[in-house]
Amino acid sequence: MRLTACVILLSAGLSASGRNCDQLASAPLGADVKIESAKLVAASGNLPEHCDVRGTIWPEARFALKMPTAWNNRFEMAGNGGWAGTISLPAVDSAMRQGYAAVSTDTGHDARKEPDASFAYASPANPHAARKLVDYGYLAVHETARLSKEIIREFYGTPARYSYWVGCSTGGRQGLMEAQRYPEDFDGYVIGAPVLYLTGLQMKSVWNYQVAGTGAGAIKAEKLPLLSQIVYKKCDSLDGLEDGLIENPLLCELDPETDLPPCTEDADGAGCFTKAQRSALKMIYDGPKDSHGRQFFPGMPPGGDGSVSGGFRLGESFMKFVAFDPPAGPSWDYRTFNLDTDPARTARAALIVDAVIPDLTAVKMRGGKIVHYHGWADPGVSPKMSLEYFEAVSKIVGEAETRDFYRFFPVPGMFHCGGGPGCSDVDWLPAAVAWVEKGIAPEVLIGKHVDKGETTRTRPICAYPAMAKYKGSGSIDAAESFSCAPASR
């Protein structure tokens, strides 16, 4: 019988050749590991009976591993969001309900005590700051994955047959970091909206705020609906169908300086944009460029207009506590940021937190599979960053060879990690599992738009570079009325 078809059943938390749950507290797991609790938890509510293990990896990386007694022989690790600092327990519980042994880490710091990036700022009260940054960057995830596999083997008496990573935003970056640095840790990856070029994104956020968050070019929140309305009027029909979705914003040639209504005598009003605002928006859509015109970071695609200067708080914290060596500190002033000189000063931080290595040959060689998605309407993390990374991998590994193990799915109308007017509810993990375990490569997935618990629209989500196109008949709210075809005007 294939292991993937088996469900391992335990009695009172004990497998045939494994340990009782409470015995895991004394298992030989290394001097750097402290198991703080290990207890068998009875089934309750929608959670099955499981062994709950909590502990810390030196110096401060806390983790929670939950192992259901009815096990599907798979291991899943759940990623984090933002600056992490918390264990992703809801994601762990969700995975466990599906039979996975699941784990998450806080990546080495407590967000309640050290908010945003302050955990990386050394002080007498924070002697492990340098290690905490490395843990946040990549090491805590790797060490937690390795340790979890040991505990799983101790508890069940057999190793997990397959291991999966699932994460979005910071969790997407963490997954790519694993694929780049430790490809042996996971067989399959679900990578959502990854903040893979973290240093660039945070500096872009500060630059955006300089351009459109303050001063004459500031775009007030009440103007964003008007901006969005104009963008959709110009770009919605480019795929041949007006349906409230911009299927591929890269096809939209929006020029804020000519397409947005100017204010009379340049007096700021509710239904218009001043010259300074239109100039600021053009800069935001084009993306940061230094004084020599060199592109520093991708711009915001039309449709991701929910926030033209969002992410500033995260970016400011990064610049204060992470970006420079030594750190600038809490007194750093965002108005001093200089796109000509400051990026070069972030080289040390980039080596720790950026997941930009495009050579994923090791993932391919060991049979790993990557399902990568990003919302085209993501207002905070530019989907162009994901697209450029996927294309860089294809250039290094080979286009056909890359498709053998890595597929990228841009999602029209999806905001950051979900939501938005698009069909952003997609079963990403089952697609990765089918690819890893059965060799079924995902060409098209079905996305749903769910409103108040009801599915109101379905749409095919196509593997790049294809996009969904209307067949010419049938409901525009039904996936079967569309097919995936090459992107074109």
Choose the final residue of a domain: 304, 323, 352: 352
Shared-domain flag, residues 74 and 62: yes
Measure CA of the first residue to CA of the last residue in the chain; give whole Å.
51
In terms of domains, do 140 and 41 share one?
Answer: yes
How confident is the model at residue 487, as a pLDDT? 75
Segment-wise mean pLDDT, segments of 10 residues, the chain, 489 residues: 40 58 93 96 96 98 98 98 97 98 98 97 96 98 98 97 98 98 98 97 95 90 90 91 91 92 88 94 93 91 74 95 96 96 96 98 98 94 95 97 98 95 97 98 97 96 95 95 83
- Its domain, for residue 204, covers 200-352
Give pLDDT, residue 11.
42
Looking at 324, 352, 380, the residue that finishes a domain is: 352
70 & 103 share domain: yes
Map residue 410 onto helix, strand or coil: strand
Question: Do residues 104 and 133 share a domain?
Answer: yes
Instruction: Judge if 424 and 470 occupy the same domain.
Output: yes
3-state class (DSSP) for residue 408: strand
Nearest to 41 by CA among 24, 55, 22: 22
CA angle 441, 449, 435 (to 5 degrees): 10
Question: Tell me, what's the pLDDT at 302?
Answer: 87
Please classify residue 306 by burial: count the beta carbons closer than 10 Å to its beta carbon, then call 0-12 exposed, 13-18 middle and 19+ buried.
Answer: buried
Q: Judging by DSSP bridges, how do beta strands 50-57 and 61-68 pair with one another?
A: antiparallel
Give residues with Cβ within 8 angstroms of 74, minimum separation 6.
Answer: 4, 99, 100, 101, 160, 161, 162, 163, 164, 433
Do 204 and 192 lie in a common domain?
no
pLDDT of residue 488: 61
Are both 218 and 191 inside the same structural domain?
no
Pairwise CA distance, residues 59 & 108, whole Å: 7
Q: Would you state the pLDDT for residue 321? A: 98
366 and 249 in a common domain? no
pLDDT of residue 18: 72
Upper half-sphere CA count for residue 21 (Cβ side, 13 Å)? 21
Which of 323, 352, 381 is the last residue in one of the domains? 352
Split into its structural domains, the chain has a count of 2
User: What is the SS3 string spanning 287-343?
Assistant: CCECCCCCECCCCCCCCCCCCCCCCHHHHHHHHHHCCCCCCCCCCCCHHHCCCCCCH
Nearest CA to 136 out of 103, 175, 108, 173 is that of: 108
What is the rounded CA–CA span in Å between residue 379 and residue 362? 33
User: Do 100 and 174 share a domain, yes or no?
Assistant: yes
- State the pLDDT at residue 13: 44
Distance CA 167, CA 180 (A): 15
Residues 200 and 349: their CA atoms lie apart, in Å, by: 11
Q: 301 preceded by cis ω (within 30°)?
A: no
Residues 14 and 158 in one domain: yes
Which pLDDT does position 7 carry in this prediction? 44
Question: 244 and 371 share a domain?
Answer: no
Whole-angstrom Cα distance, residue 411 to residue 70? 35
Q: Estimate the crossing angle of helix 140-156 against helix 170-181, to 10 degrees.
A: 80
Which amino acid would we find at residue 476?
I
CATH number for position 381: 3.40.50.1820
Tell me whether strands 8-9 and 70-71 are parallel, antiparallel or unpaired: antiparallel
CA pair distance 361, 359, nearest whole angstrom: 6
Buried b / exposed e over 455-475, threshold 16 CB at 10 Å, is eebbbbbbbbebbbbeeeeee
CA 477, 480, 481, 486 dihedral sign is: positive
Q: Based on the domain organization, do 266 and 363 belong to the same domain?
A: no
